[in-house]
Amino acid sequence: MTTDLERLAELLRMRSRHPDVLSVYLRLGPDPSELRSVPARLDVAFGALADRAGLDAAHRKAVTAEMAAVRRAAEHAREWLGSGVALFAAGDLGLFDEVRLPHAPEVLAVLDIRPYVRPLLEARERSRPYCAAVVDAEHSWIGTSGPEGVLEESRLTTAGPRKPDYGGWHGLTEYRVRNRAERIQQRHFRRTADLLRQAMCERDVDQLIVGGQEHTLSRFLAELTADLRERLAGTFLIDPHTMTAARVRTLADGVADRFRHDRYRRRVRQAIDEHAAGGLAVTGLEACLEAVGERAIAQLFVRADDRACGFACDRCGVLSLTGQACASCAGAVRAVPDVIGEAIVLVLDAGGAVDQVPGGTELDGARAAARLRFPVTGLSA
């Protein structure tokens, strides 16, 4: 079992000569009763994979052995309860690996010449770490997110002045005490900001989420320096005196999801607008596949729930939705189970970026959009 991102880079580089690399994704809820359904779900997912891949008898036998290895691993599915798992098996490559995921498809099995890592890439983006802070006038709690939840990094308590609500002579004492209380609170907020900056630097986190009661949040945010304000993804309301780490995780995850979705919508809108203005952008799945073949894509946007069978030319890297000869070199093409997933790998291999966008954006109609590094002639409209 691994969750090491360096392993993801290794999986992206793996490649077999035959479509006999088995990738399986499975998601289980926390209820142990789901364990009984695992064998049947695997049977449905495996289906006729070997027949659809067009394998000869020898490689079909190898795939059968890989499926058996996955079924043996599933005997320990109790360890996967409440999470997802990705399993990769390829006898020719000496590969069998399990990757625990916080998010995964309910069940998915793919045979291809390389590990199918598209859901793994999406899970990595959805699990992007953040720093969470819960703040009131005298106390601060700081944690960072990870596979096990939001783990505490530090706490800070700053004692305020006593009895800030009495009048004294003509109210002057009350004024002095309240003024001192505001100075102490301001110093507390600044010390909290310093701890946040330190935690984010040590954990290499660039996203900040802050919780607390409404009146305290506004005061604390006003004290944030520009560098932290730029990293602020959002806020949530919570009572610092009754909070739990699990509740912080639930609320902060919601903020992180909304921030990510808003960012996707902005980026998709910008790419579509740039295309409409005749700039370095393109929309539509077919046109994007052509741009992938030219290694012209700087950033690709695809729908997270969209898959499409297609074809690839291994000689020049051109992708298409039809099984005709390669439009670039006239060579033979091979069938791929998900041409969008193949495009994602090629874009990343060429140094580009990929956003797998959830539903509810302008990408729902276009299926794909991309910002280009340079103009590409002959692109589909």
365 inside domain:
yes
256 inside domain:
no
Please indicate, yes or no, whether residues 111 and 177 belong to a single structural domain of this protein. no
366 inside domain:
yes
Residue 3 has a pLDDT of 46
Please indicate, yes or no, whether residues 17 and 86 belong to a single structural domain of this protein. yes
Cα(80)–Cα(104) distance, integer angstroms: 11
Domain with 216, as residue range(s), is 131-243
Q: What are the respective helix, strand and coil percentages of the chain, to the nearest 5?
A: 45, 25, 35
Residue that finishes a domain, picked among 92, 126, 160: 126
Which one-letter amino acid corresponds to residue 65?
A
Please indicate, yes or no, whether residues 28 and 60 belong to a single structural domain of this protein. yes
262 inside domain:
no
90 inside domain:
yes
Residue 37 has a pLDDT of 93
User: Residue 335 contacts by C-beta under 8 Å, 6 or more apart in sequence?
Assistant: 54, 309, 310, 311, 323
Per-residue pLDDT reduced to its tens digit, 231-278: 999 999 999 989 998 899 999 999 999 999 999 999 999 999 999 999
Per-residue pLDDT reduced to its tens digit, 65-89: 999 999 999 999 999 998 889 999 9
Residue 52 has a pLDDT of 60
Please indicate, yes or no, whether residues 141 and 195 belong to a single structural domain of this protein. yes
217 inside domain:
yes
Structural domain count, the chain: 3
pLDDT of 97 > 80? The answer is yes
Per-residue pLDDT reduced to its tens digit, 170-203: 554 555 555 666 788 889 999 999 999 999 999 8
Residue that finishes a domain, picked among 83, 102, 126: 126
Residue 378 has a pLDDT of 62
Which residue, chain included where needed, has tokens 């392993």?
A: 7
Cα(336)–Cα(310) distance, integer angstroms: 5
Please indicate, yes or no, whether residues 111 and 9 belong to a single structural domain of this protein. yes
Please indicate, yes or no, whether residues 41 and 27 belong to a single structural domain of this protein. yes
261 inside domain:
no
Please indicate, yes or no, whether residues 119 and 11 belong to a single structural domain of this protein. yes
258 inside domain:
no
Please indicate, yes or no, whether residues 219 and 168 belong to a single structural domain of this protein. yes
User: Could you give the angle at which helices 38-46 and 57-73 cross, rounded to 10 degrees?
Assistant: 160
**What number is the average pLDDT over the span 351-360?**
92
Please indicate, yes or no, whether residues 26 and 108 belong to a single structural domain of this protein. yes
**Residues 192/185, Cβ–Cβ less than 8 Å:** no
pLDDT of 168 > 70? The answer is no
Cα(244)–Cα(252) distance, integer angstroms: 12
Please indicate, yes or no, whether residues 151 and 231 belong to a single structural domain of this protein. yes
Q: What pTM was estimated for this model as a whole?
A: 0.83
Residue 331 has a pLDDT of 77
CATH number, domain of 42, equals 3.30.960.10
CATH number, domain of 317, equals 3.30.1330
User: Could you give the angle at which helices 5-13 and 118-126 cross, rounded to 10 degrees?
Assistant: 160
What tokens does 327 get?
């439009």
Residue that finishes a domain, picked among 126, 155, 190: 126
Please indicate, yes or no, whether residues 232 and 316 belong to a single structural domain of this protein. no
Residue 1 has a pLDDT of 40
CATH number, domain of 143, equals 3.30.420.60
Please indicate, yes or no, whether residues 118 and 137 belong to a single structural domain of this protein. no
